Chain A
Amino acid sequence: MLTFPLHNAALDLKGKPPEALPHGLLPIPPEVRELIEMERSRHRPEAFAQAEERLVNEWTVHWYFENLCQEVAYRQTPDGPEVLAVGFDEVLALQRNLPPEEWRALKGYSA
């Protein structure tokens, strides 16, 4: 059973520049998996099944980037988020290098 406060990865990353923040396929933390299981019982199974991959990806990105005040662009995958760009410069460069339809298939995070 999780108890708050949780020590998320973002706490140890505060103050680092965008290039030093996590990139690539992020491991899904056990705490996120536990939060997902806690949440599962609150929803209709068929609806939750449709939403689960999105939640796992969003909550994992949040675990690593909460309150870092950095934009993140990531690809949602069944194995967790694949972070492609962190920070304004990287995100803008990615946006300018991708065809619009590919860019718009990506997900964003900022908090």
Chain B
Amino acid sequence: MSRLAIPVSRTILNSTGDVLLRAHVMLAVKDSAGHFTDQRFQIDSATDVTTFPAFTAGQLGLPIPINSSPIRHNLTGLEVRSGLLRFRIVGMDSTEYVVSCYFLGDPNTAPYPAVAAFFPRALLQPLALLDHLKFTMQKDPTSAAIYGEVIIDKI
């Protein structure tokens, strides 16, 4: 049995005062040579497919398709390379997982950070892992995780 508790982080959108609640998980992503590198992903059940910046994938030597898919990513308008992401979850056992992944943007050009809405992000779609992992959200008011936590349990 392997379990990871991730505290929810809360920040304020300084322009409006709205509350932002997020949970990030560190994944050790596997490159073409079989080496692992830690990368931080936001857990996001609203993303259609797990996403990762194609430029970062290229720099890390992750296996990504040479040609882009005949679609664009709806939210960012970026080109898409539809592939697979292999990873371990840092803090859990050494089980390797594989999920479908959209590698976003041009792998040869660093993303331009001027417009946040068009910036490719590392988002993990947890629903793709439910054969292997259970995701639970909970809050214990006596805990240091005062905004709650996401628990990942290996099934």
Contact call A51/B144, Cβ cutoff below 8 A: yes
| Interface positions of A from 59 to 96, Cβ below 8 Å from B | 59, 62-63, 66-71, 88, 92, 95
How many A-B pairs with Cβ below 8 Å?
A: 75
Q: Is B142 an interface residue (CB 8 A)?
A: yes
Report if A4-B17 is in contact (Cβ < 8 Å); known contacts: A62-B11, A95-B37, A108-B24: yes
Contact call A58/B38, Cβ cutoff below 8 A: no
Q: How large is the interface on B (under 10, 10 to 19, 20 to 34, 35 or more residues)?
A: 20 to 34
Contact call B110/A88, Cβ cutoff below 8 A: yes
- The smallest C-beta distance from B94 to any residue of chain A, in angstroms, reads 13
Q: How far is the CA of A81 from the CA of B116 in the complex (A)?
A: 23
Contact call A5/B15, Cβ cutoff below 8 A: yes
Q: Please indicate the chain B residues that have their CB under 8 angstroms from the CB of A92 in the complex.
A: 37, 59-60
Contact call B145/A51, Cβ cutoff below 8 A: yes
- The smallest C-beta distance from B51 to any residue of chain A, in angstroms, reads 13
Q: Is B129 an interface residue (CB 8 A)?
A: no
Q: A8-B14, A68-B113 are in contact. List 6 more A-B contacts (CB 8 A).
A: A5-B17, A15-B114, A43-B141, A50-B144, A69-B116, A95-B38
Q: Which residues of B contact A (CB under 8 A)?
A: 7, 9-17, 24, 26, 37-38, 40, 56, 59-60, 90, 110-111, 113-114, 116, 119, 121-122, 141-146
What 9 pairs across the A-B complex have the smallest Cβ distances? Answer: A69-B113, A50-B144, A4-B17, A6-B14, A69-B119, A8-B14, A62-B11, A5-B15, A108-B40
Q: Which residues of A contact B (CB under 8 A)?
A: 4-8, 10, 14-15, 35, 43-44, 46-48, 50-51, 54-55, 58-59, 62-63, 66-71, 88, 92, 95, 103-104, 108, 110-111
